[in-house]
Amino acid sequence: MNKKEQIHDVIIIGGGIAAYTAALYTARANLKPIILCGVEPDQLSLTTLVENWPGFEDGILGPELIENSKKQAEKFGAKCIQEAAESFSIEKKYFEIKTSENSFKTKTLIIATGASARKLNIPGENKYFGRGVSTCAVCDAALYRNKDAIVIGGGDSAMEESLALYKFAKKVTIIHRRNKFRASKIMQDRIFKLKDKIDIIWDSEVIEVLGNGKSVTGVKIKNLKTNKISEIKTDGIFLAIGHIPNTKIFQGKIKLDNHGYLLTDKLSGTNIPGIYAAGDVQDPVFKQAITSAGTGCQAALQAEKYLEKLKAEGKY
- Minimal distance in Å, beta carbon 227 to ligand FAD? 32
Select the residue interacting with ligand FAD from 125, 148, 235, 280 (CB under 6 A): 280
Active site residue 280: no
Select from 50, 32, 208 the least CA-distant residue to 17. Answer: 50
Active site residue 140: yes
Task: Tell how strand 229-233 and strand 79-81 pair up.
Answer: unpaired
- Say whether residue 164 binds ligand FAD (CB under 6 A): no
- Say whether residue 36 binds ligand FAD (CB under 6 A): yes
Measured CA to CA in angstroms, residue 316 lies from 27, 88, 104, 309 at distances of 20, 21, 17, 10
Query: Of residues 47-76, which lie at the interface with ligand FAD (CB under 6 A)?
Result: 47, 50, 52
CB-based contact 19:44 (threshold 8 Å): no
How many C-beta atoms lie closer than 10 Å to residue 132's C-beta?
A: 28
- Say whether residue 125 binds ligand FAD (CB under 6 A): no
Measured from the CB atom, the residue of 11 and 210 that comes closer to ligand FAD is 11
Burial of 93-116, coded b for 16+ CB within 10 Å and e otherwise, reads ebbbbebeeeebbbbbbbbbbbbe
The residues with which 103 forms a beta bridge, in sequence order, are 98
- Residue 293 CA from chain centroid, whole number: 12
- Say whether residue 279 binds ligand FAD (CB under 6 A): yes
Select the residue interacting with ligand FAD from 93, 290, 311, 316 (CB under 6 A): 290
Select the residue interacting with ligand FAD from 31, 110, 136, 183 (CB under 6 A): 136
Q: Among the candidate windows 102-110, 168-176, 210-218, 275-283, which touches ligand FAD by CB under 6 A? A: 275-283
Torsion sign across C-alpha atoms 14, 153, 208, 49: negative
- Say whether residue 14 binds ligand FAD (CB under 6 A): yes
Measured from the CB atom, the residue of 151 and 204 that comes closer to ligand FAD is 151
Measured from the CB atom, the residue of 38 and 218 that comes closer to ligand FAD is 38
Q: Which residues contact 146 (CB under 8 A, 6 or more apart)?
A: 168, 169, 170
Select the residue interacting with ligand FAD from 22, 44, 219, 262 (CB under 6 A): 44
- Residue 100 CA from chain centroid, whole number: 24
- Say whether residue 143 binds ligand FAD (CB under 6 A): no
- Minimal distance in Å, beta carbon 43 to ligand FAD? 3
Select from 135, 28, 15 the least CA-distant residue to 76. Answer: 28
- Say whether residue 209 binds ligand FAD (CB under 6 A): no
Instruction: Give the active site residues.
Output: 136, 139-140
Binding site for ligand FAD (CB under 6 A): 13-19, 36, 38, 40-44, 46-47, 50, 52, 84-85, 112-115, 130, 134-136, 139, 246, 279-281, 287-290, 292
